Amino acid sequence: MSRKYYYRKKKSREMFVGDVAAIVNLLPWQWQIILICALTAISGLGFSIMLKELSLIFS
């Protein structure tokens, strides 16, 4: 599946995710973990718990 078709298919969500990823890449890794935890807490508690455990493993 081409990237162009994929973006057209899920345009608003994918563009938002891409913008967030671009901003996160500019930040230091400590801020990346904080930001990712905050975003996942907004989207779902179970997901944020999983991600906090992952961030503990990688830190």
CA-to-CA dists, residue 28 to 2, 35, 38, 47, 50, angstroms: 31, 11, 16, 22, 21
Confidence category of residue 1, pLDDT binned at 50, 70, 90: very low
Amino acid occupying residue 49: I
Q: What is the pLDDT of residues 21-53, one digit of tens each?
A: 777 777 787 877 887 777 777 776 666 677 788
Residue-range domain boundaries for the chain = 3-58
pTM, rounded to two decimals = 0.32
Residues across the chain: 59
Torsion of CA 17, 23, 26, 32, to 10 degrees: -70
Residue reference for tokens 């298919």 = 9
